[in-house]
Each structure stands twice: as C-alpha cells, then as structure tokens.
Amino acid sequence: MRYAPINPADLNFIEGHYGRIPHPPCIPGHEGAGEVSAIGSAVESLSVGDLVIPMLGAGCWTQEMTAAEQFFARLPTHIDPVQASMLRINPPTASLLLSEYESLEEGDWIMQNAANSGVGRALIQIAAKRGIKTLNFVRRAELGDELIALGATAVFTDDDEGHEKARALLGDTPCRLAANAVGAESAIRLMDLLATGGTMVTYGAMSRRSLKVPNKFLIFKNLSLQGLWVTKWFEKAGHSGMAELLQPLAEMMNEKELLIQVQEIVPLSDFQRAIELASKDSRSGKIILDLASA
C-alpha cells in the first residue's frame, strides 16, 4: 500500500458511529492505492507492479495487504497514485448520484449541498463532462470561484440568502434531483427548491442532526427521499458492476479531467496529526496518509 485518504467515514468508523461497528483489533481505512508486489499461481487479472485499489471496504491504513484478486481493481499505468487512492468512494458516489435516481439529460440540473466536499467536487466535474448543470451550495462564499473553475454552473452560500438567489436563477426551470450530505436545515432548503415529484438522495450527515421533513414536501410535492451508501452498492454490484462504474472514472482521473483536492500528505508515523487535520471543518482538501513513509 502507498497512499490512503482520511475520510469522514473513517473517523466515524473509529468513533463507532459508522454503518458498521468496528470490532478491535481492526485496521481502519476505507480506500487507498498500492502496487502489486506478489501474486499466486492462479491469479490471471493482475501482475506484479500493477497499480491497484483495494475493494475490501476496510483495512486500507496498512503497509501491506493480501486478498483474493477480485478484491483489487487495476488502474491505468500513468494515473497519479495519490489521486488513485481517492477513487473508490467519492467519485463512484458522485457518479451514482447522477445516474441511479433520475434520468438526467444534457442541460438538466442537479443541486447539492457540501459542494466543496470530495463528493461535491467530483460531482461537479463528472456532471460538467456529461453536460449536466450543477447548482451548488457551500458555507463559505470564497469557494465560489474555485468551484466555477472546476465546472460548476452556479455557486451560492448555504443559507436563506443563497436559497433565494438559487430560486431566482432557476425560475420556472425544474430541478428534479438533489444530493444531500448535510441534513438539517440545509436539506430542507434543497427540498424546497426541488420540482414536484423530484428526488433527494442523502449520502452523508455532516451536520450530525436528524432530518425532520415537513409534511408539505411529502403531501403536496410528492418528493422521493432516498439514501446512498456506496459500500452497499459495491457489495450488490459484484466484480463486473464495480469495473463498469470505476473504468470511466479512472480514465477521467488519468486524463486529469477528475481531480480531488489534497491539502497535505502526512507520513503514517505522524498519523495522530493527520487525524487531527482531517477532523477540522475548514480544510482545503483531503488529508492523505503516506503509507510508505513510516
């Protein structure tokens, strides 16, 4: 193993607040990237030296890992290994948000909160490549230019003022899909902007506050509320489904069309500082563990 990001899901897993409870002793880390150092005689899809990402769903904060070949996805030769370490969770989540819930066509809109998050940035870039417009909400107004440069159509602050500006921009144009990573009042604002019969997909809960849905959104707007946990999706998809989802994303990353912001790469030996950095609300990008520098 070479690199592994520290994601909110990793911190939740350590704290015991994730969808799966850890049973110590266990190794955290839901994603990473490494090079194949040895293979068994029956292995057909991998070779020594291949850059791969583990698809195990845990145990990536380690220097060495052994698993059956179907639990590794081989990546293009020249892809940046740091970027590759972030390929398993955020980009697939963004891609599934765009394709699994509403039939979006070129020129259609999707809205999201936490637009500067890893998933949010990936969604902006993937949507732009597909010609889908993105309405993005962030807590800090200074992030606007940066997200516009990534391909965002519009960026507003995630408050009442930003909500009204977004409403004015949409006018009579329907937006049928919203991606929610925050919950609480932020999610309510998304539902208020959604078109009748639209869908809000929740994939995160950054506010750590429960979502209390006003009855009017269910009765009069007939909104559909769904959830996405990419780990579960991978388990059901199987090896072929995973490959079909990951291949175009890996190609985008290899061509520098899909980039995830990195704040700092920290040696594994300094993991406590890395976790402290990753726990801060105001970061400029991902904190990456350098697993080869112990």
What letter would DSSP give residue 195? P
**pLDDT of the residue at 7:** 93
Q: Look at strands 72-74 and 3-5 and give their pairing.
A: unpaired
SS3 of residue 43 by DSSP: coil
Q: pLDDT tens digits, residue range 105-115? A: 999 999 999 99
CATH code: domain of residue 54: 3.90.180.10
Residues 69 and 130 in one domain: no
Residues 79 and 194 in one domain: no
Angle at 229 between CA 225 and CA 230, to 5 degrees: 130
**pLDDT of the residue at 291:** 96
Total count of domains within the chain? 2
More confident residue, 165 or 17: 165
Instruction: Tell which residue, 99, 128, 97, 100, has the closest CA to residue 113.
Output: 97
More confident residue, 27 or 17: 27
Residues 166 and 72 in one domain: no
Question: Which of these is catalytic: 3, 18, 101, 203?
Answer: 18
**What CA–CA distance (Å, rounded) separates 230 from 89?**
7
Across all residues in the chain, what is the average pLDDT?
94
For the ranges 20-29, 76-85, 146-155, the lowest mean pLDDT is seen at 20-29
More confident residue, 16 or 100: 100
Phi-psi region of 140 (alpha: psi -120 to 50; beta: other; left: phi over 0): beta
Residues 110 and 131 in one domain: yes
Is residue 183, in this structure, part of any structural domain at all? yes
Enumerate helices (H) and strands (E) in the chain, giving the number of each. 10, 12
More confident residue, 9 or 152: 152
Burial of 38 (0-12, 13-18, 19+ CB in 10 A): exposed
Query: Is the pLDDT score of 123 beyond 90?
Result: yes
**pLDDT of the residue at 43:** 95
**What CA–CA distance (Å, rounded) separates 90 from 98?**
13
Residues 27 and 79 in one domain: yes
- Give the end of a domain, one of 199, 227, 255: 227
Query: Is the pLDDT score of 294 beyond 80?
Result: no
With a pLDDT cut of 70, the percent of the chain lying above it is 100
The residue range of the domain holding 56 is 3-88+235-290
Q: pLDDT tens digits, residue range 167-217? A: 999 999 999 999 999 999 999 999 999 999 999 999 998 887 888 899 999
Q: What residues contact 262, with CB distance under 8 A and at least 6 apart? A: 82, 285, 286, 288
Query: Is the pLDDT score of 21 beyond 90?
Result: no
Is residue 26, in this structure, part of any structural domain at all? yes
Residues 143 and 59 in one domain: no
Question: Edge to edge, what strands does the sheet with 286-290 contain?
Answer: 3-5, 286-290, 262-267
Region 17-40: what's the mean pLDDT?
91
Banded model confidence at residue 5, pLDDT cuts 50, 70, 90: very high
Query: Is the pLDDT score of 244 beyond 80?
Result: yes
Q: pLDDT tens digits, residue range 33-52? A: 999 999 999 999 999 999 99
Is residue 115, in this structure, part of any structural domain at all? yes
**What CA–CA distance (Å, rounded) separates 162 from 158?**
6
For the ranges 10-14, 80-84, 99-103, 193-197, the lowest mean pLDDT is seen at 10-14
Q: What residues contact 25, with CB distance under 8 A and at least 6 apart? A: none
**What CA–CA distance (Å, rounded) separates 182 from 117?**
11
**Catalytic site residue 3?**
no
Question: Locate tokens 């994730």: which residue?
Answer: 18
Residues 20 and 115 in one domain: no
User: Between the CA atoms of 249, 250, 251 and 255, what dihedral angle is there, to the nearest 10 degrees?
Assistant: 100
With a pLDDT cut of 90, the percent of the chain lying above it is 83
**pLDDT of the residue at 41:** 95
- Give the end of a domain, one of 227, 250, 270: 227
Banded model confidence at residue 56, pLDDT cuts 50, 70, 90: confident
Q: pLDDT tens digits, residue range 246-263? A: 999 999 999 999 999 999
